[in-house]
């Protein structure tokens, strides 16, 4: 087992391959207490323990996010629409309890290198020793949690209109450049004709 992990580390070092923490997508409802507990655990622990971790929060109460949530439930083979649903790499978790902390960490670490796991363990110890100090030094990690933008049909229509307008605005630039090139070419050709 050691030989395989050392071989993997050697190959990773040779080819610049790095295994990072698996990202997390959290499907939640703003009124769900378990969702708030899951978010607290992630925002107070996991994002600090795993420096490369990114978390996407998806509000399932927004109708635009429902199809994605339904697809996730199907992919995870969950029959109920209970939240939170946490998708970490290829693993799914429904619900949240403090007893799940080690399982969530294991899912985040699934493809991490031993060195990255070691850093996470050191960060965890530092948080346990003085969470406030560690978080002050690493307050930029709060940016690791992003709320999924809510897309609507109106947003898609506006984006399409902007694209059409941009294309029509860009087309006049093409014609101006074309005219300048033709005039320049005509000028060069007429000058050569006058020299003969």
Of 89 and 181, the structure prediction assigns the larger pLDDT to 89
Place of tokens 């580390």: 9
**Claim: this prediction has a pTM higher than 0.75:** no
The token duo for 3 is: 């030989």
If asked whether residues 163 and 69 sit together in one domain, one would say: no
92 by DSSP, 3-state: which? strand
What is the residue range of 123's domain? 2-147
Same domain, 47 and 113: yes
Q: DSSP H helical segments within the chain, as ranges?
A: 2-15, 33-41, 47-49, 66-75, 101-108, 114-137, 153-195
One domain for residues 104 and 50: yes
pLDDT of 5 reads 39
pLDDT over threshold 50, residue 63 = yes
Q: What is the pLDDT of residue 22?
A: 85
User: What's the total number of domains in the chain?
Assistant: 2
In the predicted model, is pLDDT for residue 73 greater than 90? yes
Does 12 have pLDDT greater than 60?
no
Look at residue 19 in the predicted model and tell me its pLDDT: 58
Is the model's pLDDT at 91 over the cut of 80? Answer: yes
| CATH number, position 9 | 3.40.30.10
Looking at residue 3, its pLDDT comes to: 38
- Phi/psi for 19 (5° steps) reads -100, 120
CA distances in angstroms from 65 to 26, 71, 104, 151, 172, listed in the order given: 12, 10, 24, 8, 39
Question: Does residue 4 surpass a pLDDT of 50?
Answer: no
Using a pLDDT cut of 90, give the percent of the chain over it.
Answer: 64
What per-residue confidence (pLDDT) applies to 59?
97
Tens-place pLDDT, residues 147-180: 987 665 555 555 565 555 555 555 666 666 777 8
Considering the domain architecture, whether residues 159 and 132 belong to the same structural domain is answered as no
Average pLDDT value for residue range 89-99? 96
32 with 129, same domain: the answer is: yes
Query: Domain check: are 57 and 99 in the same one?
Result: yes
- Average pLDDT taken over every residue of the chain: 82
pLDDT of residue 151: 61
Please report the pLDDT score of residue 179 as a whole number: 79
- Do residues 61 and 103 share a domain? yes
């Amino acid at each position: 087992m050691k030989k395989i992990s050392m071989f993997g580390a050697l190959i990773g070092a040779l080819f610049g391959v790095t295994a990072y923490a698996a990202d997390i997508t959290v499907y939640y409802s703003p009124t769900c207490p378990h969702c708030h507990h899951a978010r607290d655990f992630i925002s107070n622990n996991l994002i600090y323990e795993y420096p490369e971790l990114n978390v996407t929060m998806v509000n399932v109460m927004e109708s635009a996010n429902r199809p994605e949530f339904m697809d996730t439930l199907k992919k995870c083979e969950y029959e109920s629409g209970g939240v939170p649903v946490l998708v970490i790499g290829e693993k799914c978790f429904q619900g949240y309890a403090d007893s799940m902390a080690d399982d969530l960490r294991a899912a985040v670490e699934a493809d991490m290198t031993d060195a990255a796991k070691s850093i996470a363990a050191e960060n965890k110890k530092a948080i346990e020793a003085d969470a406030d100090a560690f978080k002050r030094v690493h307050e930029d990690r709060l940016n690791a949690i992003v709320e999924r933008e809510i897309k609507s049909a109106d947003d898609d229509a506006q984006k399409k209109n902007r694209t059409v307008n941009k294309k029509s605005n860009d087309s006049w630039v093409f014609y101006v450049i074309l005219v300048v090139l033709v005039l320049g070419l005509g000028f060069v050709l007429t000058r050569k004709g006058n020299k003969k």
